[in-house]
């Protein structure tokens, strides 16, 4: 029984492109695209209530869903590159995709649950990526004296007196 090897903390904190988030977002967009493409036919859904049966045509919603699925797929591919600004676009697309899938849940529950789950995972991964990216990019600024960061002791070589 030995100790585990030391971890290079500087290397562990560096964040590369969010490949997993991009892959999950691309998968989510493709599931949306393919499942909603099947609903673009002119076949209406039949909804039975206590007052009778109604025909519900969701063709317009399905075409909107196809467009959102294509946009989410492209946002997932862009997010995997790690370029600046793609994380914000991917966050927006994942949020819109989850909201639209929740609206269409009564008509296609299995794909909606799958996509909402994938979008939730993508949102978590991208928000974590943004948080670690800000800290490790050196944007936190220099240390300032105050209650959260005290002055170094007088014998410290980092003191600038």
Range from 39-43, 55-59, 73-77, 142-146 carrying the lowest mean pLDDT: 142-146
**What's the half-sphere exposure (Cβ side, CA atoms, 13 Å) at 43?**
6
Mean pLDDT of 32-55: 85
Query: What tens digit of pLDDT does each residue of 92-149 get?
Result: 999 999 999 998 888 788 989 999 999 999 999 999 888 776 544 444 445 555 555 5
Q: What is the pLDDT of residue 137?
A: 41
Query: Mean pLDDT for the chain?
Result: 80
Q: Cα dist. 34→57, 93, 159 in Å?
A: 18, 17, 62
């Amino acid at each position: 029984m030995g100790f585990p090897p030391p971890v290079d903390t500087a290397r562990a904190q560096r964040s590369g492109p969010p490949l997993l988030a991009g892959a999950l977002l691309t998968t989510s967009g493709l599931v949306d695209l393919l499942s909603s493409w099947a609903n673009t036919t002119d076949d209406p859904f039949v909804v039975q209530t206590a007052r009778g049966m109604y025909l519900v045509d969701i063709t317009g919603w399905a075409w909107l869903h196809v467009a959102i699925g294509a946009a989410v797929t492209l946002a997932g591919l862009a997010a995997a590159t790690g370029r600046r600004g793609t994380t914000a676009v991917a966050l927006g697309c994942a949020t819109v995709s989850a909201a639209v899938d929740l609206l269409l849940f009564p008509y296609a529950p299995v794909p909606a649950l799958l996509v909402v789950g994938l979008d939730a995972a993508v949102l978590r991964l991208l928000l974590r990526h943004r948080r670690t990216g800000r800290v490790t990019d050196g944007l936190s600024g220099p240390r300032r004296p105050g209650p959260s960061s005290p002055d170094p002791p007088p014998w410290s070589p980092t003191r600038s007196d």
